[in-house]
Structure 1
């Protein structure tokens, strides 16, 4: 089985004093596709997978203390289902509604903006943090022009200011378009939405490893990634 890692090992250093919590935080944003092609079972199984992701993060002592998670859906517009919170404070209802088209570029820009706003908050409070993680899940291809958003995302990834994980699900997912957001890795294909639950659990293990790593320390997820998940 192939090993993979999200490379979440590059913290931003901020001077702290004795009055602040020295826990290093990792903000994570999940963008879930709810376009019309997702209607029915795919939408339900995607929600189930996200619920399992939350529960797995909450069950781990490290991620429970270090991950602040935001859940958003996207079609023509982006909707914030749950704003950044520690996972034990998230109440998630799997009631996504399928609608409209797949404005992926718009979603990426919104997700990046929200993460950067969160980082500004950390800076203002003197909180240590590592590079944020943006996860996008889709079963298709973008309905909008993603050129500017893809360039923006790829640049942040190249400068280690963002970790991007693109997940394409099923045969209709356009992996080449998805890869434009991260040309050098971290774009995975899940055979089905039923398999997505297993993949997001693996992501939670990567986040656990990242949350335990010290500055500059190499991060490796020791849980093997099943070869049914193809890396692009």
Structure 2
């Protein structure tokens, strides 16, 4: 994330997407949308630790570390702890997990993903991945997604990155917060969220820079 302004573009794209995310969430007042963020550069740590209401969400810029490791596996293991009941409630909408990366994991990604999939809410989560630049490991991101009909979203320039994050922040969020069927009468059976089939195309008028 240290080259070609990637981290600055990511920060700008997220800030630009927040109003769209808030608007998408407000379309279903019966669903409460909470946001948390993990940074996995040179270790994994909560960047935004407390579940924050989308109406109150403010972005804190990430900083790039030179020669940083990509501890993606550790980040997923940390996330898996939050997929348990508690802290997750038995009756809730499936969480949306968005993984953004410009490289490949330098630790045990498989172990972290297994930790996610061991949890009921991990299995039921909607998992989306955004590959920033040509060096992103799309095979790893595809394994994270775990859905044959959905590929990692590619962002090879700042404009495309904004488009991808806006899509996740609006279309996917709206689908997850407004499922076609309500919670099952069984408190242990989460609803299934339909994954939107229309994915935004790359911006054709802008050259790839990453």
TM range, smaller chain: 0.7 to 0.9
- TM-score if structure 2 supplies the norm length? 0.74
| Match 2:163 to one of 198, 203, 217 | 198
Distance 1:171 1:157 in 2: 33
Structure 2 residue aligned with 1:219: 194
| Match 2:116 to one of 140, 153, 163 | 153
Residues 93-131 of structure 1 show CA distances to partners (whole Å, capped at 9, x for unaligned) of 32x211221111111111222343xx52453xxx74111
Structure 1 residue aligned with 2:55: 88
For the Cα contact (< 8 Å) 1:39–1:97, is it kept in 2? Answer: no
For the Cα contact (< 8 Å) 1:57–1:63, is it kept in 2? Answer: no
Distance 1:171 1:206 in 2: 24
Shift of 1:148: 1.4
Distance 1:218 1:164 in 2: 11
For the Cα contact (< 8 Å) 2:99–2:129, is it kept in 1? Answer: yes
If asked which structure has higher relative contact order (CA below 8 Å, sep 6+), I would say: 1
Distance 2:193 2:39 in 1: 32
- 1:50-65 correspondence to structure 2 within 5 Å: 50-60=14-24, 61-62=26-27, 65=31
Shift of 1:172: 0.5
For the Cα contact (< 8 Å) 1:105–1:149, is it kept in 2? Answer: yes
Shift of 1:159: 7.7
- 1:132 corresponds to 2:102: no
Change (3 A) 1:174 1:114: same
Structure 2 residue aligned with 1:11: none
- 1:9-20 correspondence to structure 2 within 5 Å: none
For these two proteins, the number of residue pairs brought into alignment is 186
For the Cα contact (< 8 Å) 1:138–1:169, is it kept in 2? Answer: yes
Structure that is richer in strand per residue: 1
Shift of 1:62: 3.2
Distance 2:146 2:44 in 1: 24
Q: State the superposition RMSD in angstroms.
A: 2.9
Distance 2:128 2:194 in 1: 16
Shift of 1:192: 2.0
Unaligned runs of 5+ in 2: 183-190, 204-210
Structure 2 residue aligned with 1:166: 129
